[in-house]
Structure 1
Amino acid sequence: MKRMIAGLMMLAAPVAAEEAVTTSYEGSFEDATFAVESAIVNQGLVIDYVSHVGDMLNRTGADVGSDIEIFKAADIFIFCSAVVSREVMEADPMNIAHCPYGIFVAEDADGVMIGRSTYPVGPMEAVADLLDTIIADAAGQ
């Protein structure tokens, strides 16, 4: 019984938000989104979807009782890599939880940034390396 209660308590525990790895971008939001799109395609990858998170937040702020502008603009590019995904999922099939991958471009009061989520140490470092390569290419580094 004690194990069951402990297990239930672990399920109910709050989960901390994932941290993000970000890189400043010297240029406009539009230039950054074009650079990210180009860098993804230059890796031979296909963008499955672009989520316009900034537009949604700005459009719905008043509807949820907020007048705070979180981002001037923010998009997330969603894609996958057959090669890297197979590698990390052969190492651990539960790495499916991290797929597809995303790179975001956001503009706030401090400027434009490009970033990604963090991943666990181990096989998922291959994904982090791929995304870091794409981000560095987009940021001109």
Structure 2
Amino acid sequence: MFRSSIIAAAFMAAPAFAQEAITYDFEGSFGDASFAVENAIVNKGLVIDYTSHVGEMLNRTGEDVGSEEMLFTEADIFIFCSAVISRQVMEADPMNIVHCPYGIAVTDRDGVVQIMHRDYPDGPMQAVEDLLSEIVAEAGGT
């Protein structure tokens, strides 16, 4: 019991830092942006493990949680990994496992379509950020 109290206190005392997102505008529809991101991921030889339909979930559950605000018209996150880059960053520091898998989000908010990904820490994780930036550039994010 004492140990769990210490752990809980440590988490409560630790500040919560939100990671910044790197966003790119997309000239076109949400569907076009999603298709372009999917193709760019596959063109890198990667496999999309899962597509999270976050926008649908938020729109469906808003009323249930007491909110009337529509955050996104549409929003999906494409989840994937790179064996080569993951091994590289985890050999540098096994704790980099917390950053895997990687995701690229496509959103439509009030007619503005954007593609985005996390801003990873400096150092070995820059290889992941570079990969994500390359994928977004291929998809047409500006």
Say yes or no: TM over 0.5.
Answer: yes
The letter of the residue matching 1:35 is: A
Structure 1 runs of 4+ with >4 Å offset: 7-10
- The residue aligned with 1:4 is none
Q: Distance in 1 between matches of 2:92 and 2:111?
A: 39
Instruction: Write out aligned runs for 1:24-103 (5 A).
Output: 24-103=25-104
Change in Cα spacing, 1:140 to 1:53, as seen in structure 2 (3 Å) is: closer
- The residue aligned with 1:16 is 17
Q: Distance in 2 between matches of 1:68 and 1:9?
A: 34
Q: How many residues align?
A: 136
Q: Percent identity?
A: 63
Shift of 1:110: 5.4
The letter of the residue matching 1:59 is: R
Q: Distance in 2 between matches of 1:140 and 1:131?
A: 11
Unaligned runs of 5+ in 2: 1-6
Q: Distance in 2 between matches of 1:17 and 1:71?
A: 20
Is residue 115–residue 141 contact of structure 2 (8 Å, CA) maintained in 1? no
Unaligned runs of 5+ in 1: 1-6
When the two chains are superposed, the root-mean-square deviation of aligned CA atoms in Å is 1.7
Q: Distance in 1 between matches of 2:74 and 2:141?
A: 21
TM-score, normalised with respect to structure 1: 0.91
Q: Distance in 2 between matches of 1:126 and 1:10?
A: 31
TM-score, normalised with respect to structure 2: 0.90
For residues 92-128 of structure 1, the C-alpha deviation after alignment (integer angstroms, 9 at most, x for no partner) is 0000000000000001025000000111100000000
Change in Cα spacing, 1:64 to 1:8, as seen in structure 2 (3 Å) is: closer
For residues 7-48 of structure 1, the C-alpha deviation after alignment (integer angstroms, 9 at most, x for no partner) is 976531330211100000000000000000000000000000
For residue 106 of structure 2, give the secondary structure of its aligned residue in structure 1. Answer: strand
